[in-house]
Chains A and B, each alone.
Chain A
Amino acid sequence: MIAIMLKLLGKFFIFLNELFTRRESAKVYWYRFLDECITIGIDSVLIIAIVALFIGAVTCVQIFANLVSPVIPLYIVGNIVRDMTLLELSSTFMCVVLAGKVGSNIAGELGTMRITEQIDALEVMGINSASYLVLPKLLAAVVTFPVLAIFSGFLGIFGGYLAGTLTGILTPEQYIYGIRFSFIPYNLVIPIVKSAVFGFLIATISAYKGYHTRGGALEVGKASTAAVTNSCIAILIADYLLAELLT
């Protein structure tokens, strides 16, 4: 079992090495990078906005229902929504959602390209197909995920504000006091670092699964599923390690 795991890990690192060797010109990557930023980043804005708003709102309602007592001031609701959103929800939860959207997209696209010989066509032209196809996706994920995390963090806190004030849980002043109370600016760095790492993991794991697809349409489906599940597991393990390292 350990031998199989190590072999798989070795193959994964060889694949990563391929991305950075025999590269094409920077101009080629720049255009591909911009395309991928749209596919991976901009096309994910809507789903992230919906998820962040509702998770922020639900967090606010749940904290009020379970935590607040006569001895705990109401502004604590805003305070906890802020910390939960910044430390976990805007990075980890958002990236689990993105693992489903972006990860399956990457694995499906590369898997289909593999079984329809499009990757072979690139190779016979003398192009490093792994680098040409995967490196722009990897860079786009590492760049756009932190931006999405900031966006998600803002909307999560805003979702909490809407749920809290519109349902009468607390006043706008209480909520805003809560999110400003004992604020540690360093906590803004955590979601940015975490989402960049998660972006790297999602892009590389999904690309590895898709790039090495063999067979037909059934295997492309399996590769997409494996990409999502493996990415989610990797995110959770990395989340624990980063929590230990960053806090």
Chain B
Amino acid sequence: MIEIKNISKTFNGKVVLDDVSGIFRKGETSLVIGASGTGKSVLLKCMLDLVEPEKGEVFFDGKEFLHVSENDRKDLRREMGVLFQGGALFDSKTVQENVKFPLDMLTKMSEGEKNDRVEFCLHKVGLDGTGPRMPSEISGGMKKRVGIARAIVMNPKYLFCDEPNSGLDPLTSIKIDELIKEITDDFNITTVVITHDMNSVLSIGDNIMFLYKGKKLWEGDSSTIMTSSVKELDEFVFSNHALKKLRGEFTK
């Protein structure tokens, strides 16, 4: 379980996050949603300590993360897997080397064990046989899959995904969503997904947090989001053309 308490962050005097608190439970896919520029990615970076918040605390299974010693932080980070928006694959390494990289750097596993683990992870994300290819030789969707494979290779307890569907076609987006959900369920991990994709919200959102101008305005799940009385959330949800049309039909 991950708990964030009163996270606040400003950039050049502009408030980006304002006292955001919340709980992300184990075995659930928790979504942080909101329009562009509402502070979703900054919240994720604060949780990962890539951006230092002015105020607030982050707890991973009760252990405080932001104000611990360098060694404790390093230990906690080994339990995290992160999928970045663009995949963040190392350009100079092959797909296999990218996935194997955390094992090379952080474990004392034998070469054979590492290769088995890499093969397992690539198989899990449906990329068997792509190991020798370079990141520049694969599609955007495949890069995201490799990113997921690298994120889960250390068998993390916490998985973070920053806009996993950005720049992908609807079909690939659905596949990525399904993969994230499957990994969360199979490994029983705590997953936090930053997104503004309504398909993701409705299909994988066990727990949803809505941010608006840096503030948490609503929290619930995919079954209650459609009937929320929060005006800003209503506008965000029904900015999706298909949902708007559906609501029109329903009202008729």
Contact = CB atoms under 8 A, between A and B. Distances in A.
The judgment on whether A and B are partners is: yes
Given A116-B86, A118-B88, A124 B105 contact: no
A112 B77 CA distance: 24
Nearest to B89: A118
A127 interface: yes
B217 to A, nearest CB: 28
A129 to B, nearest CB: 11
A60 B188 CA distance: 75
A28 B105 contact: yes
Contacts of A124: 48, 50, 77, 80, 82
A137 to B, nearest CB: 13
Interface in A113-156: 116-118, 120-121, 123-127
A11 interface: no
Interface in A79-138: 112, 116-118, 120-121, 123-127
Contact of A126 (B84, B89, B106): B106
Contact of B78 (A22, A116, A126): A126
Interface residues of B, number: 23
B70 A121 contact: no
Contacts of B187: none
A22 B75 CA distance: 13
Given A22-B70, A116-B86, A123 B105 contact: no
A127 B90 CA distance: 14
Interface of B: 45, 48, 50, 70, 73-75, 77-78, 80, 82, 84-86, 88-91, 101-102, 104-106
23 contacts: A22-B70, A22-B74, A24-B105, A28-B104, A28-B105, A116-B86, A117-B88, A118-B88, A118-B89, A118-B90, A120-B88, A121-B84, A121-B88, A121-B90, A124-B48, A124-B80, A125-B77, A125-B101, A125-B102, A125-B106, A126-B77, A126-B78, A127-B105
The 6 tightest CB contacts between A and B, nearest first, are A126-B77, A117-B88, A126-B74, A121-B88, A117-B84, A124-B82
